[in-house]
Amino acid sequence: MKTIVDNAVQKGGFQKMLRAIIEAGLDKTLQSRGPFTVFMPTDEAFAKLPEGTFEALISNKRELTKMIANHLLSGVVTTEDVAEKNQILSMVGQKIKVDTTNGIKVNDAKIVGPDIMCSNGIIHVVDHVILPEE
């Protein structure tokens, strides 16, 4: 079974998030034992951000790391587990609200694919970037 990073590379469509992970120096972490749960925004999700947002994040390692950590949970949390909660805490302690009204959303990001099981956790493909609150 492949790691989170290896799966994201193989599946494709996650170039922006992978670049962010590498720029922040978190690629080794997400290839380590874990386990981690990652809400993995697609490249289309990053395209929805206001112009210049991605570039601003890439140029600020602290903010970039915070943004990535906001997409991470400790342990393996399946879609079913997420759906049973009203909110979850990201690895930076940010409260992320869960809405199951129309599919499963974490803040504004809808889970848009099946769970991708990895050797060190799980990936949930999402259609929006979960930016940390100020």
As a three-state string, the secondary structure of the chain is CCCHHHHHHHHCCCHHHHHHHHHCCCCCHHHCCCCEEEEEECHHHHHCCCCCHHHHHHCCHHHHHHHHHCCEEECCCCHHHHHCCCEEECCCCCEEEEECCCCCEECCEEECCCCEEECCEEEEEECCCCCCCC
Q: Indicate the pTM of the whole model.
A: 0.95
4-126: what CATH class?
Answer: mainly beta
From first to last of its 134 residues, what are the pLDDT tens digits of the chain?
999 999 999 999 999 999 999 999 999 999 999 999 999 999 999 999 999 999 999 999 999 999 999 999 999 999 999 999 999 999 988 999 999 999 999 999 999 999 999 999 999 999 999 988 76
105-106 and 95-99 strand pairing: antiparallel
Q: Say what the pLDDT of residue 133 is.
A: 75
Q: Structural domain boundaries of the chain? A: 4-126
The angle formed by the CA atoms of residues 3, 104 and 94, to the nearest 5 degrees, is: 70
Q: Say what the pLDDT of residue 27 is.
A: 95
Q: Which residues contact 132 (CB under 8 A, 6 or more apart)?
A: 66, 67, 70, 92, 94
Q: Say what the pLDDT of residue 104 is.
A: 97
Give the whole-angstrom CA distance, residue 43 versus residue 18: 10
Q: Say what the pLDDT of residue 92 is.
A: 85
Q: Say what the pLDDT of residue 134 is.
A: 62
Q: Say what the pLDDT of residue 127 is.
A: 98
